Structure 1
Amino acid sequence: MIPLVDAYGHIAILAGVPLSFVAVIFLRRLIENSQNKPILPPGPMPLPLLGNVLAIDKKEPWLTYTEWRAAYGDLIFVRILDQEVVVINSQHVAQALLDKRSRIYSDRPYLATLEPYGWSVNFGFTGYNDEWRLCRRLFHQTFRPESAVKFRPMQIRRAREMVANLVDDPQHYHSHFATFSSSVAMSTVYGYDASARNDPLVQIVINAMMGLSMLTPERAIMLKAFPFLLNLPDWCWGSSIKRGAQTSAKRVNEMVNVPFQYVQQHMADSSHSSMVAENLQRMETQDEASKPMFETALKKAATTAIVGQQRSFISYFMPSTHLLHVASYETTSSTLMAFALAMVLYPDVQKRALSDRRATVVCNIWGISRDEKRYPEASRFMPDRFIDANGALTDDNPAEYVFGLGRRICAGRHVADASAWSAIATMLATVDISSAKDDQGKTIDFTPKFMVGVVRYLASP
């Protein structure tokens, strides 16, 4: 039994930690304000200590940033607690900064959730350093445009398997989309031929991806301020964060190592070809001292490729010391979910489609893609807006910004785009996508729901 005096002492210590944190922020702000600082972009007036955090929609911050564009313009400065943030609401400004000055907009800030939850294996979160450049080079060798073409037959085959699954079991369409996305990634990265349904390695990936919902900005801020939460005993209030981190880290570790070991076990098979296999062969020619770093970088590049194919990073803070992409990675599984929703809500389009084809900087791609001046009725699904009077595509190509910009642009965008095209074209040619009906044949009304957290994606019913 803990003596009463000691118990009160522990309570006093716990109570003093947040007060100390507030005091440190306050003193830091006083010091910063007393110094000469450069002129900042316009933005809402921040509150002492809290900044603008109370004014920002916690689940969908891009909506707030888009609203502020009308008042403050395409470049906005906001303060979230002690974090300074610059929000970009314009493609023109984004390209001017993130493409033309990419050297200073390519780093990543510290995120307190990455290491505990196992997600430091994704090199998208790695700082702009030699490790990141090595990971990017390994990634680019496999997914550059001229290399991505060789995957097309496999993508078409997988798309046909997906359609067969949709016809046999339309109720679980979300699972079929996820299986298609994962199987394409597993084939290109590990040379693994996944089963059309319920594949064990694909399930390992899906289990690991479930942990992404825990990587919320709020949890990152909390762990940065109170890292002792990861050391609380299981019986203590607040220990759920630690237990969630342990579970997530275990699943991510399994996702990293199990398919990697599969490649190592099948290296002797001359027909085995994949991103990991080719680079393991290259590694054999290197000196022993550099092999551990190379293997670590290869695992990170492979894991990033798998994760990038699985979920769409619509709402996640993909930050750098000077860069934060909102909606930068439009990947296959979520793209197909959004496509299915668009076909249900706009059946007329489906019919026509059969004939066609320094502070942290936030690039608010949600706001860019819904600029009413550029796209009237921006929230309406109107593919015709990208076709001119002569039936040709206009020069307005959303791919120039939805995959990110600068040196952090999605390296796997060519394969991801080809996968989405293969799946969507195959579905349009073979199946009719419509709302579900009840026993009396009446259409079942529904309201689309989106999951938010580290990612934003369309939820399965």
Structure 2
Amino acid sequence: MDNRIALLLSTSLIAISVASRLSKRRAAEGGSLPPGPAGLPILGNLLAIDSQEPWETYVSWGAEYGDLIYARFFSQDVVIINSEKIAKDLLEKRSSNYSDRPYLPTRLPFGWTHNFAFTPYGNEWRLARRLFHQGFRAEAALNFHPKQICKAHQLLINLYETPQNYADHLTTQAPCSCFKPCAVFSASVAMSVTYDYETAPHNDPLVTVVEKANTLGLQYMTPETTAILSIFPFLLHLPSWFPGATMKRNAILCTNYGVEMVEIPIQYVQKNMASGTAGPSLVSDLLRMREHEEPTRVPEFDQALRQASASAFSGGAETTSSMLLMYTLAMVLHPHVQVRARAEIDAVVGKDRLPGFDDRPSLPYIDAILREVARWQPIAPLAIAHAATNSDVYEGYYIPKGAVVIANPWAMSRNETKYPKPSEFIPERFLDADGALLDIEPPTFVFGFGRRVCPGRHAADASLWVVIAMTLAVFNFSKAKDVQGRDIEFLPKFSAGVTRHPDPFPCRIVPRSGVDMKELARLVDSTA
């Protein structure tokens, strides 16, 4: 009974403190907070959020309160943006005030200092981004084209050999027997350009470590999840043997995975550089830059190098594979899109070779498919949260200093004014009457906003384009058949982890007429 009274008193004091702080701040700053749902004492709006699909909750709030919404997670102010215009007005035009990240009490305990996407705005973040930009800026990303084409060729062979394992070929690891050792596309490209490392045909140890670190760590990096730890930080200080201390045990595991993921591939590059066998890669370039740094700056440079390389691999592989799964789902559900795409490829490229990057300006429908995949099912329905460095006023609404600012790309993708029939897959929405790409901005909200926009977007775009173009040139995608030869109907289901992606679904991937293994080998050789 005494414990219950103590708990009641403490929670009441927290509620009074929060209410008092909000009241004083509004009086001092002037203006009113954006509209939003009423919250519970202490908890705020946490219990009202769909924990599996919070972006849908924010869409429903937007329908009632508008595109700029105020909520509260315990004592944390939260501002949600459902409009692309508002996101650009705040996160881009006022980027000096909205480029920080909210404090995540799990970032250090879970060892997530290796990913600079979560690093607070400041000198540490600037250096890591500058090093990342060294290898992934638009001009430098062109150097990846040969590797991207090579890995796309390997993907074609994998899909030909074992099409039923399409999800493995695009995401994790899968065995295959082809002309040369090969690995799944997304992880293979990321490892190749970052470390000049060739992944094993299946069960590559580094890829496995990254998957474990991402799957375990990212679930603890969202504002919705970490809000409770801001109020009850002792939960991360319980001994790992304590009953119910699952979070503590996961933090130890995730930290260990993170150390392996960061250090082992860098040591691989260093060993190859010492023996003179290192090929071009982001890390080898940065290690050569390190030799010219002032000795006092080397520790800072080393930390930034680790953040840049780990972010390139762990982030790039996951986002690319999720997009490719969405693309595969779209093709299975919309066979008419494939018909138009193949007609364009055949007219421009012919059937004697595979499409390459030089063909891209002449294949606008392929670009339209890529844009529509990104818009139709955003793989990051909620962008990584920003934080307000100082208090601000936008169109008469007060945004408190330290507020968590969450952009909602899912809501932006459902803007019926900009994208009529938003739930439908319509690549033609990006084309004019003559079939040329419209001079309108593609759905860039999938890459984030302002100074925090994804710095690897140029390489990701090229990887996705070449796979879409080549797979449509070689394969037909359709629904799987049952024993009576009838289509197997299914309702797509989605999982959300590091990114949102479709769960495996029944499908049939077969070569186009006239494409056997011999012909595929010839096509690959002709565009190698």
TM-score bucket (shorter structure): 0.7 to 0.9
Equivalent residue for 2:392?
none
* Residue 304 of structure 1: how far off its partner (Å): 0.8
* Residue 196 of structure 1: how far off its partner (Å): 4.3
Contact 2:151 2:185 in 1 (8 A): yes
Q: How far apart, in 2, do the equivalents of 1:71 and 1:49 lie?
A: 23
- What aligned pairs does 1:330-369 form with structure 2 within 5 A after superposition? 331-354=319-342, 355=344, 356-357=365-366, 358=388, 359-369=403-413
Structure 1 residue matching 2:273: 3-state secondary structure: coil
Q: Give the 3 Å change call, closer, same or farther, for CA 271–115 of structure 1 in structure 2.
A: closer
Q: Give the 3 Å change call, closer, same or farther, for CA 19–415 of structure 1 in structure 2.
A: farther
Q: Give the 3 Å change call, closer, same or farther, for CA 19–407 of structure 1 in structure 2.
A: farther
Q: Give the AA of the match of 1:297.
A: A
Of 86, 105, 112, which residue of structure 1 is paired with 2:98?
105
Of 454, 457, 463, which residue of structure 2 is paired with 1:413?
457
Q: How far apart, in 2, do the equivalents of 1:370 and 1:244 lie?
A: 36
Equivalent residue for 1:228?
234
Tell me whether 1:24 sits opposite 2:14 in the alignment.
yes
Q: How far apart, in 2, do the equivalents of 1:418 and 1:22 lie?
A: 55
Q: Give the 3 Å change call, closer, same or farther, for CA 334–19 of structure 1 in structure 2.
A: farther
Tell me whether 1:88 sits opposite 2:93 in the alignment.
no
Sequence identity percentage: 47
* Residue 349 of structure 1: how far off its partner (Å): 1.1
Q: Give the AA of the match of 1:394.
A: L
Contact 2:15 2:41 in 1 (8 A): no
The alignment yields a C-alpha RMSD, in angstroms, of 2.3
Q: Give the AA of the match of 1:264.
A: Q
* Residue 348 of structure 1: how far off its partner (Å): 1.1
Q: How far apart, in 1, do the equivalents of 2:330 and 2:198 lie?
A: 31
Q: How far apart, in 1, do the equivalents of 2:229 and 2:35 lie?
A: 30
Equivalent residue for 2:526?
none
Q: How far apart, in 2, do the equivalents of 1:71 and 1:207 lie?
A: 39
Tell me whether 1:390 sits opposite 2:390 in the alignment.
no
* Residue 271 of structure 1: how far off its partner (Å): 4.9
* Residue 218 of structure 1: how far off its partner (Å): 4.8
* Residue 254 of structure 1: how far off its partner (Å): 0.9
Equivalent residue for 1:424?
468
Tell me whether 1:264 sits opposite 2:264 in the alignment.
no
Contact 1:77 1:86 in 2 (8 A): yes
Contact 2:74 2:227 in 1 (8 A): no
Q: Which runs of 5+ in 2 are unaligned?
A: 172-183, 345-364, 367-387, 389-402, 506-528
* Residue 204 of structure 1: how far off its partner (Å): 2.7
- What aligned pairs does 1:162-173 form with structure 2 within 5 A after superposition? 162-173=155-166
Q: Write out per-residue CA displacement over residues 129-171 of structure 1, whole angstroms, 9 at most, x where no aligned residue.
A: 1010000100111001111111111101101111211121122
Q: How far apart, in 1, do the equivalents of 2:51 and 2:219 lie?
A: 14
Equivalent residue for 1:307?
314
Contact 2:84 2:445 in 1 (8 A): yes
Of 144, 147, 160, which residue of structure 1 is paired with 2:153?
160
Tell me whether 1:151 sits opposite 2:144 in the alignment.
yes
- The TM-score, its normalising length taken from structure 1, stands at 0.88
Equivalent residue for 1:284?
291
Equivalent residue for 1:296?
303
Q: Give the AA of the match of 2:47.
A: L
Q: Give the AA of the match of 1:101.
A: R
Q: Write out per-residue CA displacement over residues 312-341 of structure 1, whole angstroms, 9 at most, x where no aligned residue.
A: xxxxxxxxxxxxxxxxxxx31110010011
Of 260, 263, 266, which residue of structure 2 is paired with 1:254?
260
- The TM-score, its normalising length taken from structure 2, stands at 0.77
Q: Give the 3 Å change call, closer, same or farther, for CA 17–456 of structure 1 in structure 2.
A: farther
Q: Which runs of 5+ in 1 are unaligned?
A: 1-7, 312-330
Q: Write out per-residue CA displacement over residues 14-56 of structure 1, whole angstroms, 9 at most, x where no aligned residue.
A: x957963563343132233144143222222333322222332
